[in-house]
Amino acid sequence: MLPEISRSMLKNALVLGLFAIATVGSVALLQQGTAERIANAEREAQVRALAEILPAGSYDNHLLDNRIELDAPELGHRSPQSAYLAFKDGQPSALILPVTAPDGYSGAIHLLVGIYADGRLAGVRVLSHKETPGLGDRIELAKSDWILGFAGKSLSDPDEEGWAVKKDRGDFDQFAGATITPRAVVKAVHGALRYFASHRVQLLGLTEDER
């Protein structure tokens, strides 16, 4: 009886072992395939967001292939982030900066801020946020056109005092029942313009003659 029990136990252990190996292998393959699909989806979303900020014809390179790694706490980051440099006929035409507004109503608001080489805003888009649906989420282009109001603005248009919501005597609208969210975005975009102005030569890779 004992040898038979031992053989049975060994057989069951082998079956369970093979099953475990097959299961782990299947899960690993599934995760790999899922990770690839997620990475491709994220890349496509990035491409769409970048294309929304810079109008067609303002650049002729592939933005994702022209990244600059920035270690810039001034932009609200705790770790290096990728910025995207646009070229037109071989010359830098714009830069898209990743910017985080840490002081949203419900947490950090992650943005992409496009700035032309001359310091004008090409556009701003929200990547992610946790703002209140129906109130603060109007920073999304899908919910309102408020975010489009940044296009064409610069450090001098409006002036320093104008870079605030109207409740704070600035030029930008706030939302009914939600002032904190647009205030945070305006502050972050203004900060991005100041950062660009201070680091323009390095960011665009300009020479002495091109400054």
Kindly tell me if the per-residue pLDDT of 128 is higher than 80: yes
In sequence order, the 6+-apart residues with CB closer than 8 A to the CB of 173 are 146, 149, 165, 166, 182
Kindly tell me if the per-residue pLDDT of 210 is higher than 90: no
pLDDT tens per residue across span 178-188:
999 999 999 99
Whole-angstrom distance, CA of residue 94 vs CA of residue 204 = 8
Query: What's residue 44's pLDDT?
Result: 72
Considering the chain, what percentage of its residues have pLDDT values greater than 90?
66
Single-letter amino acid code for the residue at 128:
S
Give me the residues paired with residue 96 across strands: 84, 114
Phi, then psi, of 189 in degrees rounded to 5: -65, -40
pLDDT band at 49 (very low <50, low <70, confident <90, very high): confident
Query: What's residue 10's pLDDT?
Result: 63
Query: What's residue 2's pLDDT?
Result: 47
Q: What angle do CA 203, 206, 211 make, to 5 degrees?
A: 110
Q: Which candidate, 185, 69, 200, places its Cα nearest to that of 137?
A: 185
Query: What's residue 55's pLDDT?
Result: 87
DSSP letters, 19-34, are HHHHHHHHHHHHHHHH
Kindly tell me if the per-residue pLDDT of 43 is higher than 80: no
Q: How far is CA 159 from CA 150, 193, 197, in A?
A: 14, 12, 14
pLDDT, averaged across the chain: 87
pLDDT band at 153 (very low <50, low <70, confident <90, very high): very high
Q: Which candidate, 119, 32, 35, 127, places its Cα nearest to that of 76?
A: 127
Phi, then psi, of 108 in degrees rounded to 5: -70, 145
The single residue listed with the structure tokens 């992650």 is: 110
Kindly tell me if the per-residue pLDDT of 46 is higher than 90: no
Task: Please give the average per-residue pLDDT across 47-66, as a whole number.
Answer: 88
In sequence order, the 6+-apart residues with CB closer than 8 A to the CB of 123 are 52, 53, 54, 114, 148, 150, 151
Q: Which two tokens stand for residue 85?
A: 């440099």
Whole-angstrom distance, CA of residue 72 vs CA of residue 100 = 11
